[in-house]
Amino acid sequence: EIVLTQSPGTLSLSPGERATLSCRASQSVSSSYLAWYQQKPGQAPRLLIYGASSRATGIPDRFSGSGSGTDFTLTISRLEPEDFAVYYCQQYGSSPDTFGQGTRLEIK
């Protein structure tokens, strides 16, 4: 099983700042099968990024994904108030599918 480790656990930033979230895999992950989700309290996860760097439909271009192999990054270029949430990475290429433990992005 591929273990995904997200860092930091909590990130405290202000609106307008840049956020950089990391997802490290215990084994190499095909870039085609690395996704990022956003989850707000009481809501279902929402797909942001698939294939490591492709934005899902309707996702603003301030969200970008990068990386390959075992190291992946989600970047939010300028934080908006609605971006404060929990973010999860997911690998889909090797069964079982696995999620990272999440990064909580909170308002500083």
Partner 1 sequence: QVQLVQSGSELKKPGASVKVSCKASGYTFTSYAMNWVRQAPGQGLEWMGWINTNTGNPTYAQGFTGRFVFSLDTSVSTAYLQISSLKAEDTAVYYCARDGGSSFPVWGKGTTVTVSS
Size of the site for partner 1 (CB under 8 A): 26
Pattern 9-38, partner 1, x by CB under 8 A: -----------------------xx-x-x-
Task: Select 81 or 96, whichever has its Cβ closest to partner 1.
Answer: 96
Taking alpha carbons only, the member of 89, 86, 74, 81 closest to residue 20 is 74
Per CB under 8 A, 100 contacts partner 1: yes
In the numeric block, which tokens belong to residue 102? Answer: 């999440």
* Beta strand ranges found along the chain (DSSP E): 4-7, 10-13, 19-29, 34-39, 46-50, 54-55, 63-76, 86-91, 98-99, 103-107
Classify burial at 33, counting beta carbons within 10 Å of its beta carbon; exposed 0-12, middle 13-18, buried 19 or more. middle
CB of 29 to partner 1, least distance (A): 11
User: Rule CB under 8 A: which of 38-77 touch partner 1?
Assistant: 39, 43-47, 50-51, 56-57
Least separation in angstroms between CB 53 and partner 1: 11
- Least distance to partner 1 from the beta carbon of 14, Å? 25
